[in-house]
Amino acid sequence: MNELIAQFKKNGIDNVIQNEPLKNHTTWKIGGPAKLFFEPSSVKELQEGLAEIKKRSIPWFALGRGSNVLVADEGLDGVVIKLGDGLAQLDQQDELFTVGSGYSLIKLATIVSKKGYSGLEFAGGIPGSVGGAVFMNAGAHNADISTILTKALILMPDGELYWINRDDLGFNYRTSNLHQNGGICIAAQFCLEKGNTVEIRKRLQKNKAYRKNTQPWNDPCCGSVFRNPLPLYAGEIIENLGLKGEAVGGAQVSEKHANFIINAGGATANDVLTLIKKIQDLALNRYGVEMKTEVEYVGEK
């Protein structure tokens, strides 16, 4: 790792930190240290840095705004690449918006609504980045990213950049083929529809208010923990199991919405994993339902 750091400095890359606690970079406020934490200031710096990482066969993980991810208590023995402000550009050409992966999805939804463009009202309360939203096809209120995306700029494991059309990204419920091919979303282009600004903002605020009133956004959490086993809903299943308020250590099933596990104070990744396993076992034994997680666990179990 020292050799990598030395090469980074030689290349003029100095925004790296050793043993950075990842709990400072996740919405759950959980996670041990990254052996090396690297936040590129540009796409070029990301490409250069990743090339050096891969040259040394060092494991790496791309992190956005830290929602929908659970990092191991032991941390990560490799490089965490933070896709942040250096990759948060916004460009508009009429109805086409090209947005960097580090851009806040909530901020984007707010800005385009003020401009009078419709299509992102569903995202008003989704606490992630544009890159993460593309990666997992984030959605709410019967809409998702795939409905407005035209193409995405993907950095593939070989270090090459490609614009990939929506139909070639393999979108499905809370997933894309980026999970399998290891690609990183660098930017996304959305096609939005010009409309009535007042009505668009009303819809956005309605969705924000709904999420605020029904979900525990004042508590550290990751978003929804489980995918809905459609046509059933994960929150309803967990509530019917009598698990609202159930706790393991500092991890607790939210009293407000059962498909959220909150960090009630000092929660560890192991606490969360134990609580997830308990929910999965009870749902399978009582209802025969397999509860698949929406949250991504990173590290050794």
- By annotation, the residues acting in catalysis are 174, 224, 294
CA–CA separation, 176 and 10 (whole Å) = 36
Query: What is the C-alpha to C-alpha distance for residues 253 and 170, in angstroms, rounded to an integer?
Result: 32
Q: Extract the tokens encoding 134.
A: 């593309």
Residue 261 burial (CB count, 10 A)? 31
List the Cα angle 182/171/163 in 5-degree steps: 60
267 alpha carbon, distance to own chain's centre: 20
CA separation for the pair 250, 233 (Å, rounded): 25
- Alpha carbons 40 and 83: distance in angstroms, whole number: 7
Determine contact, residues 150/80, Cβ cutoff 8 Å.
no
Residue with tokens 């939005």: 192
Angle formed at CA 121 by CA 118 and CA 127, multiple of 5 degrees: 140
Asked whether 4 and 58 are in contact (CB, 8 A), the reply is yes
